[in-house]
Amino acid sequence: MTTALDALPATLRERVPELGVDLDTWTRRMMRWHFDPDTGSPFWVTRREKLGFDPFTDITGFADLDRFGLFDKAELRAANARDLRPRGYRDRPFRVFETGGSTGVPCRIVNVTRLAYDVEIYRTVLEARGVAGGDVLAMTPGGPHAYGHFVEGLADSWRGAVHAIDFDPRWVKAALRTGDRADTYTAHLIDQTLALLAAERPTLLFTTSRLLVELAMRLPRPLHTYGIRAVCTGGTSCTAAEADFLREEHLPGVQWIDTYGNTLVGHALQADAVPGSPAVPGGTGHSYHLPPPFAVLTVVDPADPWHEVGIGQRGRVRTTTLLEDLFLPNLLERDSAVRTGPHPWFPWDGVAAVRPFLDSADAEEAVEGVY
């Protein structure tokens, strides 16, 4: 019998038709969009003459994006937000989102369409798992951070209430960088969350994996007794030991839906282990799959960022984002992961056993804090 999760690839393409576009075709479309003076952003249009190739004629498919070289986040950090907005969206409202600053000065991006795509894709996943709807407790960053806005948009899609806590992740990062501890601020976040859990009985909890571990340690009783049906976490995945602890001790009767990603690349969706398939050493039993053609995860040799490792091998994560409002080619992430093959729910390559990339002196030092 076919289940909603078995039908997920077809449902996603039906809900978001762009997901059915061939990656090479979409790449050519994005080159025309981002480098045409009438539709592209000043950020990319002004760089066209300096590329040494013509993105209209020389980029014929996704593989040709290697010609851009590695993307330097310093350029994004230095950019004015209005220079990032595509001229093709000059008459549409937009929002400015910022990264959490795990590796230094935050980066800014603009959102016109991306958030709507993220909401529709994630809502489809929740519906396939049978947990969409109801009120939401958002133990997530707010303000300039995309995560909080995404949760609000998701709840808006089914007219649910969002109970949000006051959460500034940069406070924790700043404290850690100066040698202080994060315990006091983390306790402040947990106190707010416990009060809302008891008072509002939301059905969905959104947070980060690290904060879920902290919350579990403070819970006087299991989460399902508060009315929670599913916990949705984002950011960097927790360790295998932490995942086992949460499932066995604190999440009986509650679905745990994890994603891997960040503001620049989006949400890599969780796929459950296929029965009979070998476990990934150090993994949580899940793989994470970023939906093309909007973005692509590639696991590469740390010594050669243009060489993709084989399935089952560990390497550094390299990402490319291909959206109308955000084009970032060949960005080396601060994470390492094991490359996995396609999954029945998400028929494209994924990653598993994600952990910080700490093997190179060239890697940016990440301060994750509550992520």
DSSP class per residue in 85-118: S-GGGTTS--EEEE---TTSSPPEEEESSHHHHH
pLDDT at 326 over 80: yes
Return the higher-pLDDT residue of 76 and 247.
76
The confidence band for 359, taking pLDDT boundaries of 50, 70 and 90, is low
Asked if 167 and 235 touch (Cβ cutoff 8 Å), the reply is no
Length of the chain: 371
Single out the residue of 337, 334, 330 nearest to residue 365, CA to CA: 334
pTM, two decimal places: 0.93
Single out the residue of 101, 86, 108 nearest to residue 33, CA to CA: 86
Here the tokens at position 236 are 């960097």
Model pLDDT, residue 179: 62
Model pLDDT, residue 210: 87
Residue 188, C-beta contacts closer than 8 angstroms, at least 6 positions apart: none
The confidence band for 369, taking pLDDT boundaries of 50, 70 and 90, is very low
Burial label, 217 (beta-carbon count in 10 A; 0-12, 13-18, 19+): exposed
pLDDT at 365 over 80: no
Query: Which of 28-37, 241-250, 257-266, 304-313 bottoms out in mean pLDDT, i.e. has the lowest?
Result: 241-250
C-alpha–C-alpha distance, residues 59 and 65, integer Å: 7
Positive or negative, the Cα torsion across 80, 81, 82, 86? positive
Residues 184-224: pLDDT tens digits? Answer: 889 999 999 999 999 999 999 999 988 999 999 999 998 99
Q: Is 235 helix (H, G, I), strand (E, B) or coil?
A: coil
Model pLDDT, residue 363: 45
C-alpha–C-alpha distance, residues 278 and 238, integer Å: 20
Return the higher-pLDDT residue of 237 and 161.
161
Single out the residue of 210, 232, 297, 301 nearest to residue 261, CA to CA: 297
pLDDT at 289 over 90: yes
pLDDT at 1 over 70: no
Residues 21-37: pLDDT tens digits? Answer: 999 999 999 999 999 99
pLDDT at 64 over 90: yes
Mean pLDDT of 155-167: 96
* Mean pLDDT over each residue of the chain, to the nearest integer: 91
C-alpha 365: how far from chain center: 19
Here the tokens at position 326 are 């955000």
Return the higher-pLDDT residue of 257 and 246.
257
Going by their DSSP bridges, the two strands 295-301 and 314-323 should be labelled as antiparallel
